[in-house]
Structure 1
Amino acid sequence: MEELTYGRAALLHAFLAADGGNGLGDYSFWSGAYHRALQAHHQAMLGALQRLFAIELTFEGMPDSSRRALFMLVRSTAASLHQLTTPWSGYREAGLLLRHLEETGDVGVRVHEASHRIATRNDENRQDHLAILDDLLTVILGDRAESRFTEADLRALGVDPEPPSLADFDDLDDY
């Protein structure tokens, strides 16, 4: 079996997930200890990958004015990505709402169809945001953009690359 490696995509994922942003580490669904463990995992991954790539993904961490300017676009693109939602975003369980919507007949059908179209476009928007971020990160990383690191590299920095398992938490508040 080929060893799993961590490259630019993993750095980007950790960057986006470390703050709990929408759809890439959104911790609002989970609460309590699991929430804290998942957020800590993403922050640890970000810290370790930044060390391995020899970059700090902050405005101050950019090595020159050109990359600082590009990083401003990284931040605004990430913020835009985190804002992608649908009318159904934030519902943990919508069974009652769905039942009432179905009772409306044709209106419910149209709402479902429109919601599906919104979700599809959001998925396309999410992919476009990620493509922009990957291209910008490629330029910012320069000759390190194609670097790959192993589990052993992460573990040497004290980071377990495996996210916490939901099965290890029995205090899922409000679940």
Structure 2
Amino acid sequence: MEELFNYILQFGNLNKQQIDLIASKATELELRKDDYFSEAGKVPRYTGFVLQGVFRFCYYNNRGEEITNNFVEENSFVVDYPKFESNVASSDYIQAVTDCKLLVFSRKNWEGLFNTIVDWDKIVAKIYQKCLLEAIDRRSPLVSEDATTRYLSFIEKFPSLANRVPLAYIASYLGITQQSLSRIRRNIR
């Protein structure tokens, strides 16, 4: 729970009562590798904070190919926030890449925090903005760089993931084939 509060307190101040309230609304959830935290076509039920493990956001394109478009690891929130907030069906899957442990907030408990904690909306807005900017920062170089540079950027931005995530997911994220990724990895060693 300490990790959650260390993270949240970067974005605003909370007193002891508010921290205790947030703690009382969170429940621990464990997911096994390949389990889904949220599924396309369904309304996201939880906002989660990752204590341990890695998640990926993915979808299927119009050719039926699975595309990974983001990774989330420890000490970060994981949720399809616009869909969670709007209470509408998601178009992405959020899947555990490893065994994961997280703190989750149901919609009712999350909304209760907005109704009880002064400025909670401002804290959440800052957290969401940070997550959005990080996702954009990670994705935008992928458009204009060659495959080797994209992989090197991936290693720089996700230093701990290269050995925790299957190559197929990394290749999909980079927009290259798994064979190309293997060749790139061989050439840069």
TM-score, shorter chain, exceeding 0.5: no
Q: Relative to total residues, which structure has the larger helix share, 1 or 2? A: 1
* Bigger relative contact order (CA 8 A; separation at least 6): 1
TM-score if structure 2 supplies the norm length? Answer: 0.26
**Who wins on radius of gyration, i.e. which is larger?**
1
Bigger strand fraction: 2
